[in-house]
């Protein structure tokens, strides 16, 4: 099945990972070997760029920008509309490949492609709504307004866990805004990136989009560093760990470029005494074990009112007993593998830390072996009772490890929810209006996303997505996140026959 998908997109066993659109360059960098965590099988080798090919790609992108920025935005939107159509055609094939290369469930693989389609639709509408403001000038016979212009090359660095959706959030918006894009996908999921490049390339060719508008540099960390340091690239949008974000932020900041950072989370749900516990259960379990706990918005912590703690943790333990772990392409399974054995080692180290720091397990974790688990990447979702201040709880473990803790009053719960370095997603389960509104108020959650009666995991593309503190402060996707991809220009036009100066300054000659 996967072979057929690769053939359909002309992905050869050894494929270039360097492209300016229709043109694929023969890379001279290291070879990325893509291995599926589902069954440990090798998918393809992808050749990354050396420094010379990287420079050639940036030069091609810069050249293309001169033409692309002059296309009317609705015409650029029409091209993006066609990308959305092509993604609809290829949703099943690409969704399966996402599931196989990354290890998320088939439903989530399809969901990821659906998210790409949704952002295309959003971007098409946006292409006619890149609105500026007009202001009233303090001077007679003057008009003042602001407009938004394309910025230039957008460098996109993405993480393995959303191998294609994060690129589309960035690139579809960047394109309608008149930018050109250079994408460095995760070295762990380069093959899905090749497929995206092939899909976009065929749409671009049919519309005579200049070569260089959609570029790919599939490589490792070094290629990301080249992007971050390159003064030809005004905007770097980087998604990944906080460690990576700090490195990218310093490199981009040192050259006074713009960085849009989407980094790690440590997301909590408060389970109030007034929660609908049955409803809360679904949000908590999906949030903790969906994508095997490898979403930036995965639920890591449950802060549970002491009066419902025993009842709710018992429900959780019972629910965890029902979980089926196995091949994510089999829709009967709830939990697939972690991305690779390094991730498994980090998960095991975190389990040890939990007990070393004073926690105890309500549901034990462990690595699975035997038939069906040959890749060595399947682990048991675990639940541990902990204190919020434990060092291990303060860090994001990118695996299905859920922490539970008790609270007495709402302020204490909010303080615990906010009492971590990260600030991405948060939620409260409550039927009490006062609690809900307090949680959403300025004195409530300090996260970029705050929900009531839904979990932390997953977001709709219509809202601005991102978080505060060590999550990086960036916002992508919906609302007015498009402004990140453009430069604002303030214009004042004098149509009078005098030249009055601002602030009433007189300057006579």
Nearest CB to ligand NAD, comparing residues 73 and 379: 379
Q: Which stretch binds ligand NAD (CB under 6 A): 179-187, 312-320, 383-391, 452-460?
A: 179-187
Nearest CB to ligand NAD, comparing residues 150 and 245: 245
Q: From the list 247, 362, 367, 452, which residue makes contact with ligand NAD (rule: CB under 6 A)? A: 247
Minimum distance of ligand NAD from residue 241's CB (angstroms): 3
Nearest CB to ligand NAD, comparing residues 247 and 362: 247
Catalytic residue positions? 262
Residue 130 binds ligand NAD (CB under 6 A): no
Q: From the list 64, 248, 319, 377, which residue makes contact with ligand NAD (rule: CB under 6 A)? A: 248
Distance CA 249, CA 260 (A): 9
**What are the Cα distances from residue 368, in Å, to 326, 339, 372?**
10, 14, 9
Q: From the list 398, 407, 482, 485, which residue makes contact with ligand NAD (rule: CB under 6 A)? A: 398
DSSP secondary structure, 177-217, as one string: TT-EEEEE--TTSHHHHHHHHHHHHHHHHHTTPPTTSEEEE
Minimum distance of ligand NAD from residue 31's CB (angstroms): 15
Q: Which stretch binds ligand NAD (CB under 6 A): 243-251, 344-352, 359-367, 434-442?
A: 243-251
- Residue number of the CB closest to ligand NAD reads 224
The site map against ligand NAD for 18-57 (x = CB under 6 A) is: ----------------------------------------
Q: Which of residues 296-335 bind ligand NAD (CB under 6 A)?
A: 296
Q: What residues contact residue 463 under an 8 Å CB cut-off, 6+ apart?
A: 449, 477, 478, 479
Minimum distance of ligand NAD from residue 339's CB (angstroms): 7
Minimum distance of ligand NAD from residue 98's CB (angstroms): 14
Token pair belonging to 492:
């004042």
Residue 268 binds ligand NAD (CB under 6 A): no
Residue 239 binds ligand NAD (CB under 6 A): yes
Pairing of strands 258-262, 235-239: parallel
Distance CA 30, CA 48 (A): 6
Residue 230 binds ligand NAD (CB under 6 A): no
Calculate the CA dihedral of residues 458, 461, 462, 468 and round it to 10 degrees: 60
Q: From the list 154, 161, 249, 417, which residue makes contact with ligand NAD (rule: CB under 6 A)? A: 161
Angle among Cα 246, 251, 257 to the nearest 5 degrees reads: 110
Minimum distance of ligand NAD from residue 108's CB (angstroms): 13
Q: From the list 118, 396, 435, 470, which residue makes contact with ligand NAD (rule: CB under 6 A)? A: 396
Token pair belonging to 52:
């010379």
Q: From the list 181, 244, 382, 447, which residue makes contact with ligand NAD (rule: CB under 6 A)? A: 244
For residue 84, how many C-alpha atoms fall within 13 Å in the half-sphere facing its CB? 20
Distance CA 25, CA 18 (A): 5
Distance CA 99, CA 106 (A): 5
Count, residues in the chain:
509
- Which residues, listed in sequence order, are joined to residue 269 by a DSSP beta bridge? 302, 427
Cite the beta strand spans of 194-337 per DSSP E.
214-217, 235-239, 258-262, 267-271, 299-305
Q: Which stretch binds ligand NAD (CB under 6 A): 96-104, 203-211, 220-228, 401-409?
A: 220-228
Minimum distance of ligand NAD from residue 82's CB (angstroms): 27
Report whether 47 contacts 16 (CB < 8 A).
yes
Closest CA to 119 of 150, 154, 77: 77
Nearest CB to ligand NAD, comparing residues 221 and 389: 221
Minimum distance of ligand NAD from residue 99's CB (angstroms): 17
Nearest CB to ligand NAD, comparing residues 150 and 290: 290
Torsions phi, psi of 238, nearest 5? -120, 130
3-state secondary structure of 287: helix
Other C-beta atoms lying within 10 Å of the C-beta of residue 163: 27
Nearest CB to ligand NAD, comparing residues 102 and 126: 102
Minimum distance of ligand NAD from residue 159's CB (angstroms): 3
Q: Which of residues 436-495 bind ligand NAD (CB under 6 A)?
A: 471
**What are the Cα distances from residue 407, in Å, to 224, 385, 411, 434?**
42, 13, 9, 17
Nearest CB to ligand NAD, comparing residues 113 and 244: 244
Q: Which residues of the shown chain bind ligand NAD in the complex (CB under 6 A)? A: 157-162, 184, 186-187, 220-221, 224-225, 228, 239-241, 244, 247-248, 262-265, 296, 396, 398, 424, 471
């Amino acid at each position: 099945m996967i072979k057929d998908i690769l053939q359909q997109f002309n992905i050869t066993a050894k494929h270039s990972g360097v492209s300016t659109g229709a043109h694929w360059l023969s890379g001279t960098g290291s070879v990325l070997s893509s291995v599926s965590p589902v069954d440990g099988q090798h998918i393809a080798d992808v050749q990354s760029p050396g420094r010379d090919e990287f420079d050639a790609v940036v030069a091609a992108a810069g050249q293309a920008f001169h033409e692309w920025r002059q296309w009317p935005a609705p015409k650029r939107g029409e091209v993006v509309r066609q990308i959305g159509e092509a993604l609809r055609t290829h949703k099943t094939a690409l969704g399966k490949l996402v599931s196989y290369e990354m290890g998320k469930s088939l439903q989530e693989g399809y969901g990821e492609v659906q998210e790409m389609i949704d952002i295309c639709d959003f971007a098409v509408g946006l292409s006619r709504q890149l609105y500026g403001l007009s202001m009233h000038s303090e001077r007679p016979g003057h008009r003042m307004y602001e407009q938004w212009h394309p910025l230039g090359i957008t460098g996109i660095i993405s993480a393995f866990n959303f191998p294609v959706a994060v690129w589309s959030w960035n690139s579809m918006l960047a394109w309608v805004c008149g930018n050109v894009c250079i994408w460095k996908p995760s070295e762990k999921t380069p093959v899905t990136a090749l497929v995206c490049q092939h899909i976009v390339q065929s749409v671009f060719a049919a519309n005579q989009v200049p070569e260089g508008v959609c570029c790919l540099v599939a490589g490792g960390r070094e290629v990301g560093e080249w992007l971050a340091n390159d003064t030809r690239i005004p905007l770097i949008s980087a998604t990944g760990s906080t460690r990576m974000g700090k490195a990218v932020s310093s490199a981009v900041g040192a050259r006074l470029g713009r960085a849009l950072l989407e980094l790690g989370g440590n997301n909590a749900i408060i389970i109030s005494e007034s929660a609908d516990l049955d409803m809360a259960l679904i949000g908590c379990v999906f949030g903790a074990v969906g994508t095997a706990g490898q979403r930036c918005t995965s639920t890591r912590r449950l802060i549970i009112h002491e009066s419902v703690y025993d009842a709710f943790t018992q429900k959780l333990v019972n629910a965890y007993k029902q979980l089926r772990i196995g091949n994510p392409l089999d829709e009967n399974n709830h939990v697939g593998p972690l991305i690779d054995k390094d991730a498994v080692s980090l998960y095991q180290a975190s389990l040890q830390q939990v007990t070393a720091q004073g926690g105890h397990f309500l549901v034990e974790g462990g690595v699975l072996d035997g038939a069906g688990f040959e890749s060595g990447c399947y682990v048991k979702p675990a639940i541990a009772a902990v204190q919020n201040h434990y060092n291990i709880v303060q860090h994001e473990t990118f695996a299905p490890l859920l922490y539970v803790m008790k609270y007495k009053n709402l302020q204490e719960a909010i303080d615990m929810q906010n009492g971590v370095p990260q600030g991405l997603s948060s939620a409260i389960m409550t039927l009490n209006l006062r609690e809900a509104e307090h949680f959403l108020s300025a004195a409530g959650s300090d996260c970029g996303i705050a929900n009531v009666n839904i979990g932390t995991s997953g977001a709709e593309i219509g809202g601005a997505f991102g978080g505060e503190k060590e999550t990086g402060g960036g916002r992508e996707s919906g609302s007015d996140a498009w402004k990140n991809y453009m430069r604002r220009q303030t214009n004042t036009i004098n149509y009078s026959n005098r030249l009055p100066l601002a602030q009433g300054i007189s300057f006579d000659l």
